[in-house]
Amino acid sequence: MRLTGFEGKTAIVTGAAGGIGQAITRSLLEAGARVVATDLATALTASPPPAGAIAHALDIRDGAAVEAQVAGVEAAHGPVTLGVHAAGVLSIGPLLELSSEEWDRMIGVNATGTFHATRALGRAIARNGGGALVAVSSNAAGIPRRNMGAYAASKAAATMLIRCLGLELAAEGVRCNIVAPGSTLTPMQTGMWTEDGGAGERAVIEGNLEHFRTGIPLKKLATPEDIAGAVLFLLSDQAGHVTMADLYVDGGATLRA
């Protein structure tokens, strides 16, 4: 089955310099969309988006900047009817040792930043007669993790925000869905490994009973392309009756019903 609903459409992707964001941008381009790829200026310099994407620096913590960016994109490239919010940051460490500054950083990007980005995108898509919005959250939003409390809490907030937004915008023809990746082969994931290379990957796949963490039943980590495929489906015409869904793409790691 070929996914449809992208040809000639304008899409905005946040967090486009990350491993998952890059894969989503590439998939949208291949599907025929016009893609505006946004991220911090330093991130875009270090990891330029795929050829064909239109790169714009954006800090999602700045609500006014996000609104201006969406307006500027529409003025230059036409109505936005597809949006992907993939920006996020990770924090590791026990909650009792977490600084207030680090908590504020997690909430500022992963929760407040999600609000800024999806509010602006939701307004634009509704104004333009409907479309689809997908946010990349995490399976950590739905299961406790040791040393990931701030990250999990911020992602849980983002997940419920998108579901509520989907309820509010359903009558406007805007579908709002979540993709919740598990362990994925990106720099964010490998940066957490205490072992090198294959040993680090095996440790994630096997799980850790001491840390109350199950392994991955499929015996492999996701690739960014796995996550992008799920995002593209939820954006497509073929998911035209799907909204407020929270799709876990984690190889069964959370044993979620």
Which pLDDT score is estimated for 196?
Answer: 62
Domain residues for 177? Answer: 10-182+222-247
In this predicted model, what pLDDT tens digit does every residue of 153-199 receive, in sequence order?
999 999 999 999 999 999 999 999 999 999 988 766 665 545 565 67
- Sorted by sequence, the CB contacts under 8 Å of residue 46 that are 6+ apart come out as 17
- Please give the pLDDT value at position 91: 92
27 within some domain: yes
In a domain, 1, yes or no: no
How far from each other are the two terminal CA atoms of the chain, in whole angstroms? 26
Identify the residue whose tokens are 């913590």.
Answer: 61
Query: Is residue 193 assigned to a domain?
Result: no
Task: Give the pLDDT confidence of 91-115 residue by residue, as tens digits.
Answer: 999 999 999 999 999 999 999 999 9
Q: Is residue 213 part of a domain?
A: no
Q: Domain for residue 214, yes or no?
A: no
Domain assignment of residue 133, yes or no: yes
The verdict on residue 108 lying in a domain is yes
Domain CATH for 116: 3.40.50.720
The pTM for the full model equals 0.93
Query: What confidence tens digit (pLDDT) does each residue in 210-249 have?
Result: 888 889 999 999 999 999 999 999 999 999 999 999 999 9
* 53 within some domain: yes
| Residues designated catalytic | 151
Helices (H) and strands (E) in the chain, counts: 9, 7
Work out how many domains the chain is built from and give that number: 1
pLDDT tens, position by position, 62-75: 999 999 999 999 99
